[in-house]
Copies of this chain bind each other. A is one copy, B any other.
Amino acid sequence: MSEARRALEAYLSGVREGVLETLKGLLPTGRRAYRPLYELMLDYPMRDAKALRPGLCIAVCRALGGRLEDALPTATALELYHNAFLIHDDIEDGSLLRRGRPTLHLLHGAPVAVNVGDAMLALSLQPLLDNTERLGLGPALRILQVVSRMARESAEGQAVELDWIRHDTWDLEDRDYLRMVYQKTCWYTFIAPSLLGSLAAGASEAQRWTLTRFAVLLGMAFQIQDDVLNLASEEAVYGKEANGDLWEGKRTLILLHALRHAEPSERARAKDLLRLPRASKTEEGVSYLRALVDRRDSLGHARAVATRRAERARRTLESARGWLKPSVHQGFLTALVDYVMDRTR
């Protein structure tokens, strides 16, 4: 592992510790608090999470000269929101594994899992309201506005993707996929953390714009690379099942590319396989899809698209050298670009 990568992992692990501590401090502890609920709310966050969203939020804030305490409550709200979204997303996708362990709805049933997600969404408001004392009313409200938009964009992106599945939509361009990803993933994984870190640090509008551009580009690269990893990784390393996206029939840049470049007969057979519900798919069918992807080098196509975005993200960050002071935080942001492209899980 390179030194830069080790530093990045150390940075994230420090962030994760601070976030988990803050999160535990948010949980009601009184005699009447219903502990079983609060234990389940800690399950996903305590698993081997990357803390990417809080890490980005905190690094942006501090690289702009803000303090850790300015961003930590907001970063914790982001981690709560992310994990709530994962719980609901796992139910919606019928996923089996999350971070190497069974999903929450497999462990406790969908009713409990839906409610734990709701409880986490509810709790995520608290640190954002606490921001008023630390940051003042104006910045605290702007932060709430961004979180409100973030939640709206994610739900809309999720709706688009679910409707593709329900209506068996496969005639999609790359730009349809990219727009869905912008809403479903980029917004809450990159744009919101970066914008929230900027607001916590009191950044100027021009600074916020530059950092948002960086976040959009990096977020796209991240999701495309995530799709690549889903198909390219070994099960044990990635923590999800092998070829999971093919089992789920997930629209990705990879699969859209393979379908677009397939012979008509291949395409017809692939669509027939893809429209089967997960439980009716077979190893053989998934292997056929996988072979099609490999034959068209669709992973190579996706990697190339991701790399171009990551390079533009890097140049955007370099253009901010005038006001992003050299520091461990600025170093983290630079290392993040490599991380997004080089990670194995």
Give A contacts to B, CB under 8 Å: 28, 33-34, 36-37, 40, 85, 88, 91-93, 108-112, 114-119, 121-123, 125-126, 129, 132, 137, 141, 144-145, 147-148, 151-152, 154-156, 158-160, 162-163, 165-166
Contacts and interface: CB of A to CB of B under 8 A. Distances in A.
B118 A155 contact: yes
A156 B34 contact: yes
Contact of A148 (B111, B122, B141): B122
Given A91-B110, A141-B132, A145-B129, A115 B162 contact: yes
A163 B36 contact: yes
B111 A110 contact: no
Can you tell how many copies of this chain the complex includes? 2
Contact of A125 (B109, B111, B151): B151
Contacts of A108: 166
A125 B112 contact: no
Contact of A112 (B111, B154, B156, B162): B162
A298 to B, nearest CB: 26
Contacts of A147: 125
A108 to B, nearest CB: 8
A100 B144 CA distance: 37
B118 A121 contact: yes
A152 B152 CA distance: 20
B118 A151 contact: yes
In the A-B complex, the 10 residue pairs with the smallest Cβ-Cβ separation, listed nearest first, are A122-B151, A119-B155, A92-B111, A37-B159, A125-B148, A137-B137, A122-B152, A115-B158, A34-B156, A118-B155
A119 B126 CA distance: 19
A141 B88 CA distance: 28
Contacts of A117: 118
Nearest to A132: B141
A129 B141 contact: yes
Contacts of A159: 34, 36-37, 40, 112, 115-116, 119
A94 B343 CA distance: 41
Given A92-B110, A115-B155, 14 more contacts: A34-B156, A36-B159, A37-B159, A91-B110, A92-B114, A93-B111, A112-B159, A118-B151, A119-B152, A119-B155, A119-B156, A121-B151, A122-B155, A129-B141
A34 B160 contact: yes
Nearest to A92: B111
A126 B146 CA distance: 10
A112 B145 contact: no
